[in-house]
Structure 1
Amino acid sequence: MPPIQDKHSSRELLQAQVNLWHHALGFVKSMALKCAMELQIPNTIQHHGGSMTPSELATKIGLHPSKLPRLRRLMRVLTISGIFAVHEAATSNKEIVYGLTPTTRLLVGDEVKSNLFPILSLMLDSTVIAPFFGMHSWFLDEHSTSLFKKAHSLNFWEMAEQDDTYNQILNNAMVSDSNFLTDIILRECGDVFLGINSLIDVGGGHGGAARAIANAFPQMKCTVLDLPHVIAEAPSDVHVSFISGDMFKYIPPANALFLKWVFHDWGDEDCVKLLKNCKEAIPPRDAGGKVIIVDMVVGSGLNEIVTRETHVLYDLFIMCVEGIEREEFEWKRIFMEAGFGDYKIISVLGVRSVIELYP
């Protein structure tokens, strides 16, 4: 067999090498972002008026002067990848200045209530990343179903129940995501909540989404259903009620149900069981009954490479905890198996969609 060099031009070979290196080094971007977050670089620049020179930044975050050249190299990765902005200062020495971008602005402010810092912290947490180093052996192990459990001897949810620190990281992540996404849901497709008298947020955590919905629709009775250890830490609220329970055993009756980022945690069999419980809890369609789902529909939404790649990357990411992101035909299959009659997908949430499901 002739060597590969004989079949391709030097330009093609070198580009192929670049592609492999770029793919293999993708983790460096993730770790650079994690480092910037832990050094509080976004907030530091924000509190300095939105721009800082490398020396100003190094001083403010408490770095030794010897680290300044390394800081520049870190920020070079993050500016080339579009996380931060960079430009020359309007001074004679032409020193560069770092600034925020729309992406970075999602990381500034209160860590739990107003930005995406907590959800990114969960994605980049060593507990979540560690299992991927054993992915190849997990694939070869016919008896292991959970990559996360193979690494930690506990599944994702057992870890949250037994480790208070990890549980706090998870809860903060869910709160921040709910606050961010629910505001956009209400702005872009709030009509899905019109005419609903009572709504249960199934697996709604500490009630961030339910609280926002209740504020937008004061006439609606909003309730959160979640596991006892989650509800135990939920803040009290006059507009939202909380019920401890297991959604796989029973869901209280309501006019409509809301499930944000729930189904992707479970396989088809569990999802069908959950959907059947949902169907039993709501009235017929002509009486206003429906299930509102917020989740990924792989391949839907903007047909551009970042969205499409994020869909499949997140699907592989959540495979670690036995989750799955579904294409439309996969959603349709579990909907029909659970006895639902119709659905509508509204793709206005970036990588996620709103699905209205009717009995």
Structure 2
Amino acid sequence: MTSNHQILNLKYIDDDICRLESIVDVGGGTGTTAKIICETFLNLKCIVLDLPHVVENLSGSNNLTYVGGDMLISIPKADAVLLKMTLHNWNDNSCRKILENCKEAISNNVKRGKVIVVESVMNEKHDTHEVAELKLCTNLRMLATFNGKLRREEEWKKLFMQAGFQSYKLSPLTGHLSLFEIYP
């Protein structure tokens, strides 16, 4: 997973992030992505939320902190929440709960707040054969291993709206990953 974070680097962080004061990287592991964000945006407070045993021995810095917790229970308050390649591990009910917790986490910043989701979007008709095959194989693995799944844009939209969000923007990111910016 760390290599995936390094490949993504800052491609998905837009100019809008300069207006934020804080961001939570949910399921951020050892903080690889958060460290890149902190080094680039020195005034941005980054919080990495992951399970307590993942973050218990990690040290932060002046703008990076680690919080042990469970995204199904609560997410620390921030201007933005980042979920990278996380939601495909979960079924629809759990995804909806995680997204509701994300919405609650950004509720203090209705004007600038957003949730940033990096995921694969199933789109067999428009993907190259190789990308469609990769997504289908990943989907089977998620179904068999975690009871999760990859989703089509319509399925993502339904989850976002059911979690109480008003709108979203979808942009391509890499050959198999897309970027959702979800707004309350």
Superposed pair shares fold, TM > 0.5: yes
Cα 1:246/1:301, change in 2 over 3 Å: farther
Give me the CA root mean square deviation.
1.9
- Structure 2 distance, partners of 1:242, 1:285, is 21
3-state secondary structure, aligned to 2:168:
strand
- Structure 1 distance, partners of 2:9, 2:113, is 21
Question: How far does residue 356 in structure 1 lie from its aligned partner after superposition?
Answer: 0.1
| 1:205 and 2:32 correspond | no
Question: How far does residue 206 in structure 1 lie from its aligned partner after superposition?
Answer: 0.3
| 1:251 and 2:75 correspond | yes
Give the structure 2 partner of residue 33 of structure 1. Answer: none
| Alignment deviations for residues 24-63 of structure 1 (CA, whole Å, 9 cap, x no partner) | xxxxxxxxxxxxxxxxxxxxxxxxxxxxxxxxxxxxxxxx
8 Å CA contact retained: 1:256, 1:290? yes
In structure 2, list runs of 5 or more residues that go unmatched.
Answer: none
Q: Which has the higher contact order (CA 8 A, sep 6+)?
A: 2
Amino acid at match of 1:337: Q
Cα 1:254/1:285, change in 2 over 3 Å: closer
- Structure 1 distance, partners of 2:155, 2:109, is 23
**1:106-255 maps to which residues of 2 (within 5 A)?**
174-186=1-13, 190-234=14-58, 236-238=59-61, 239-255=63-79
3-state secondary structure, aligned to 1:254:
coil
8 Å CA contact retained: 2:79, 2:108? no
**1:86-97 maps to which residues of 2 (within 5 A)?**
none
8 Å CA contact retained: 2:25, 2:81? yes
Q: Which runs of 4+ in 1 moved over 2 A?
A: 182-186, 190-194, 283-287, 300-303
- Structure 2 distance, partners of 1:261, 1:269, is 17
- Structure 1 distance, partners of 2:69, 2:115, is 19
| Alignment deviations for residues 61-105 of structure 1 (CA, whole Å, 9 cap, x no partner) | xxxxxxxxxxxxxxxxxxxxxxxxxxxxxxxxxxxxxxxxxxxxx
Give the structure 1 partner of residue 162 of structure 2. Answer: 337
Between Structure 1 and Structure 2, the one with more helix by share is 1
In structure 1, list runs of 5 or more residues that go unmatched.
Answer: 1-173
Give the structure 2 partner of residue 294 of structure 1. Answer: 118
The number of equivalent residue pairs is 182
Cα 1:317/1:337, change in 2 over 3 Å: same
3-state secondary structure, aligned to 1:278:
helix
What is the aligned-residue identity percentage? 39
| 1:348 and 2:178 correspond | no
| 1:358 and 2:183 correspond | yes
- Structure 2 distance, partners of 1:301, 1:210, is 34
Question: How far does residue 348 in structure 1 lie from its aligned partner after superposition?
Answer: 2.3
TM-score norm. by structure 2 comes to 0.91
Cα 1:285/1:349, change in 2 over 3 Å: farther
TM-score norm. by structure 1 comes to 0.48
| Alignment deviations for residues 283-314 of structure 1 (CA, whole Å, 9 cap, x no partner) | 36752010000111111896311112211111
3-state secondary structure, aligned to 2:181:
strand
Between Structure 1 and Structure 2, the one with more strand by share is 2
- Structure 2 distance, partners of 1:342, 1:273, is 18
